[in-house]
Amino acid sequence: SPGAATEHFTLNFTITNLMFTTDLQTPNSRKFRSAEKIMKHYTDSLLQKSSIGPHFTGCKVTGFRSGRHGDYTTVDAVCSYKDNASLARFDREKLYQELSTMTNNATKLGHYSLDRSSLYVDG
């Protein structure tokens, strides 16, 4: 839409049933690209169903890192949406609640299990 600015927010969560390995830190590795594609699919489909859905333009996985228990994998992503007059002010708490609900209280993302206390939305 004309005059709409692209805004960004960060999304982080930790997957407890995806073992962290160093090749997940290498952006050109096969494992990184595969995990990136899967996470993009899950995050994009969730956010399209959220309150920002009509304005959502996509997420980019910016990296994977070792989760707090060493073998868990934390996903870092930057997501974008078009901000315009028809969109109520971006409400990260509301979006967090929606994502939490859609992921079974922040415990499930597709066939992945999430660390319940790891979901984070900042914008």
Q: What is the pLDDT of residue 79?
A: 96
The architecture (CATH level 2) of 5-122 comes to 2-Layer Sandwich (3.30)
Q: What is the pLDDT of residue 84?
A: 74
Under-70 pLDDT residues of the chain = 1-3, 85-87
Q: What is the pLDDT of residue 71?
A: 87
Q: Tens of pLDDT along 87-103?
A: 677 889 999 999 999 99
Residue 106: both structure tokens together: 């922040």
Q: What is the pLDDT of residue 119?
A: 97
**Please, are residues 75 and 61 in contact by the beta-carbon 8 Å criterion?**
yes
